[in-house]
Amino acid sequence: MLIKKPADIRSSEITTPQIYQDRRRFFKLSALTGAAALLAGTATRRARAEGEKLPNVQPGPFGTNEERTPLEDVTRYNNFYEFGTDKSDPALYAHTLRTHPWTVRVEGHCENPGSYALEDFLAPHALQERVYRLRCVEAWSMVIPWVGIPLGDLLKRFQPTSNAKYVEFVTLLDPEQMPGQKSPVLNWPYREGLRIDEAMHPLTLFAVGLYGEVLPNQNGAPLRLVVPWKYGFKSIKSIVAVRFTEEQPVTSWAQQNPTEYGFYANVNPAVDHPRWSQKKERRIGEFFRRETLPFNGYADQVAGLYSGMDLHQYF
């Protein structure tokens, strides 16, 4: 028997017509608006392809004016273990990922759970550009102009209840599209999580593009998280589920090696990784190493989230 995988099914197919109507009303959509209209060609609902220009992107807050990492490096030096563990693997192999149609499941403690076609999930938010530093736990960094939507604005529409203390994110599980999942380097699917206040913080972004264009597959198309004050592994790619939870979610790297990777993973030059220092980093494309800044340079915005916490214990 041939069974469609969730990723192949549009929300209009999985829900009854009545529920679908209600959902359209919930999203106040008479036609595609906002991000959805920009991601799809408005008239046709055809998905914009990888690398296509995203129109009407407005500059957003919190940007850095540091020199941007060239597009070639942003798209050819990646961590995306679903396509291999070498930095060059994702650019070579991520083309097997089908990013359209794409469904996002919203689950757990919220008033509006359900499976949403990506277009409906993103509508009606406007797209912003945010130039953020991304600091990998392996002590390299980049400056990337993301295009996306503040995660908090998006999550509010699903009305998390007071039991929602954390948000869990899950990557697609499909070893045919993601051949790296055939080897047990991680406990698939890749999972990440944030405390609800971290998820709602205005710096936290759901990205759908970079350099003004639709997100390349190797960078986590069609939807990836960007949390610029945390090590890169928190910024989970190709997300298919968002779950509001009461308990702290189990996250892939913390599960794989709890002594080396913590749940919080805030960039912190004062807390070394057990196998290397975190005091400095190599900005991709530069020769001399730079000092790593607390919270990756976003301390003014986010240090308050952790006041009173021992960041050596909660690393």
Ligand X SMILES: Nc1nc2c(c(=O)[nH]1)N[C@H]1C(S)=C(S)[C@@H](COP(=O)(O)O)O[C@H]1N2
Closer residue to ligand X in complex, CB, 160/232: 232
Which among ligand X, Mo ion, none contacts residue 235 (Cβ within 5 to 8 A by kind)? ligand X
Quick one: which of 32, 33, 39, 81 contacts ligand X (CB under 6 A)? 81
For residue 227, give every residue at least 6 positions away whose Cβ sits within 8 Å of its Cβ, in sequence order, or none.
194, 198, 203, 204, 205, 234, 235
Stretch that binds ligand X, among 21-29, 196-204, 229-237, 296-304 (CB under 6 A): 229-237
Which among ligand X, Mo ion, none contacts residue 140 (Cβ within 5 to 8 A by kind)? none
**Residue listed under structure tokens 């944030």:** 194
Pairing state of beta strands 205-210 and 213-214?
antiparallel
Closer residue to Mo ion in complex, CB, 142/167: 142
- Written as six digits, the tokens of 301 are 């915005």
* Type and span of the H or E element at 168: strand 166-171
Nearest to 101 by CA among 216, 224, 215, 13: 13
Closer residue to ligand X in complex, CB, 78/103: 78
Alpha helices in 112-184 (DSSP H): 118-122, 151-156
Which among ligand X, Mo ion, none contacts residue 83 (Cβ within 5 to 8 A by kind)? none
Distance (Å, whole) CA 22 – CA 144: 38
Distance (Å, whole) CA 307 – CA 285: 35
The site string for Mo ion over 99-138 (x = CB under 5 A, - otherwise) reads -------------------------------------xx-
Indicate whether 236 belongs to the interface with ligand X (CB under 6 A). yes
Which among Mo ion, ligand X, none contacts residue 80 (Cβ within 5 to 8 A by kind)? ligand X
How far, rounded to the nearest angstrom, does the alpha carbon of residue 271 sit from its chain's CA centroid?
Answer: 25
Indicate whether 262 belongs to the interface with Mo ion (CB under 5 A). no
Indicate whether 233 belongs to the interface with ligand X (CB under 6 A). yes
DSSP secondary structure string, 279-313? SEEEETT-SS-EEPPGGGGTHHHHGGGGTT--TTT
Q: Report CA-CA distances (Å) from 114 to 15, 120, 196.
A: 9, 11, 19
Closer residue to Mo ion in complex, CB, 40/221: 221
Which among ligand X, Mo ion, none contacts residue 27 (Cβ within 5 to 8 A by kind)? none
Distance (Å, whole) CA 36 – CA 226: 19
Quick one: which of 11, 33, 69, 79 contacts ligand X (CB under 6 A)? 79
Q: How far is the CB of 26 from ligand X (least distance, A)?
A: 29
Stretch that binds ligand X, among 6-14, 15-23, 49-57, 228-236 (CB under 6 A): 228-236
Quick one: which of 50, 82, 168, 198 contacts ligand X (CB under 6 A)? 82
Quick one: which of 121, 158, 190, 211 contacts ligand X (CB under 6 A)? 190
State the distance between the two ends of the chain, measured CA to CA, in whole angstroms.
Answer: 47
Per rule CB under 5 A, count of chain residues that contact Mo ion: 5
Interface contacts to Mo ion, rule CB under 5 A: 79, 136-137, 232-233
Interface contacts to ligand X, rule CB under 6 A: 78-82, 134, 136, 171, 190, 219-220, 232-233, 235-238
